[in-house]
Copies of this chain bind each other. A is one copy, B any other.
Amino acid sequence: MTALRDLKVIGFDADDTLWSNEPFFVETEKKFCALLKNHFIEKELKEVLYKMELENLELYGYGVKGFMLSMIETAVKVSKTEIPKELIAGIINLGKEMLEKPIELLNGIENVLNTLNGKYRLIIATRGDLLDQERKLRKSGISRYFHHIEIMSDKKEKNYLALLERLNIEPKHFLMIGNSFKSDILPVLNIGGLAAYVPFHVIWEHDRVANESSESNERLLRIKEISEILNYIDPN
């Protein structure tokens, strides 16, 4: 990809690009449904929860704490008048467990970072909660490779434009690597940046997008594993 010759800064999405994340949400959702199994069947409850998450998204933003609050609000919604205190305590514990989960780096990450380190400025560009993402990075053991974590309240075109302004670079200098076509890839392509799409086996419903497979762009790389990026980027 000739567009890569101007590359200066590489932004990595964090959750499900550097380390596994969405599977923990799916697992927690299952446990949440189990807590409420006397009241609701799993499929219906998951729908109520998902709707609640979307309703609260503008107010809470992304991350575990908002998810915890949406689970609690869902439990309130489907309960009659009284809620067993164990139920609410159980939901809070599910959330705290998520926040304390160990970090599982995805395949090949460390080799990629090690190879690109020094040649390019590497940053993490993620949504979610600053404290939580900083903690995950610390636990991951790969923080030494990154110049900093950029926490974005959203990943739309305007957010990436603001990021580039802060980095003081042009779009052609920036490559974003991520697993969400909607949040990591499309907006970056649309503002003239470069993008490498590395799908993950689980994706949050809200991050799905229709034109994922049809989009064609000379500034877009499609790879199956993150290590393939080294076939395109010159580390020397």
A85→B92 contact, CB < 8 A? no
Q: CB-CB < 8 A to A92: which residues of B?
A: 69, 72-73, 76
Residue A100 lies at the interface, judged by CB distance under 8 Å to chain B = yes
Residue A190 lies at the interface, judged by CB distance under 8 Å to chain B = no
A61→B131 contact, CB < 8 A? yes
Q: CB-CB < 8 A to A166: which residues of B?
A: 148
Residue A65 lies at the interface, judged by CB distance under 8 Å to chain B = yes
Residue A151 lies at the interface, judged by CB distance under 8 Å to chain B = yes
Distance of A138 from chain B, by nearest CB (Å): 11
Q: CB-CB < 8 A to A132: which residues of B?
A: 61
Q: Knowing A82-B82, A85-B83, A131-B153 touch, does A69 contact B65 (C-beta < 8 A)? A: yes
Distance of A130 from chain B, by nearest CB (Å): 5
Chain A: number of interface residues, binned into ranges:
35 or more
Q: CB-CB < 8 A to A162: which residues of B?
A: 148
Distance of A146 from chain B, by nearest CB (Å): 12
B80→A85 contact, CB < 8 A? yes
Distance of A109 from chain B, by nearest CB (Å): 23
Q: CB-CB < 8 A to A81: which residues of B?
A: 84-85
Distance of A206 from chain B, by nearest CB (Å): 15
Distance of A58 from chain B, by nearest CB (Å): 9
Q: CB-CB < 8 A to A69: which residues of B?
A: 65, 68-69, 92, 95
Docked CA distance A99–B61 (Å): 11
B68→A88 contact, CB < 8 A? no
Residue A104 lies at the interface, judged by CB distance under 8 Å to chain B = no
Q: Provide a sorted-by-A list of 23 A–B residue pairs whose CB atoms are within 8 angstroms.
A: A59-B99, A59-B100, A65-B65, A65-B69, A68-B69, A69-B92, A69-B95, A72-B88, A72-B92, A73-B89, A73-B92, A76-B85, A76-B89, A79-B85, A82-B82, A82-B84, A82-B85, A83-B83, A88-B88, A130-B151, A148-B162, A148-B166, A151-B151
Interface residue ranges, A against B (CB under 8 Å): 59-61, 65-66, 68-69, 72-73, 75-76, 79-85, 88-89, 92, 95-96, 99-100, 129-132, 134, 148, 151-153, 162, 166
Additional pairs, 14, CB under 8 Å, beyond known A81-B84, A82-B83? A59-B96, A59-B100, A60-B65, A60-B131, A61-B130, A61-B132, A69-B92, A72-B72, A82-B82, A82-B85, A130-B130, A130-B151, A130-B152, A148-B166
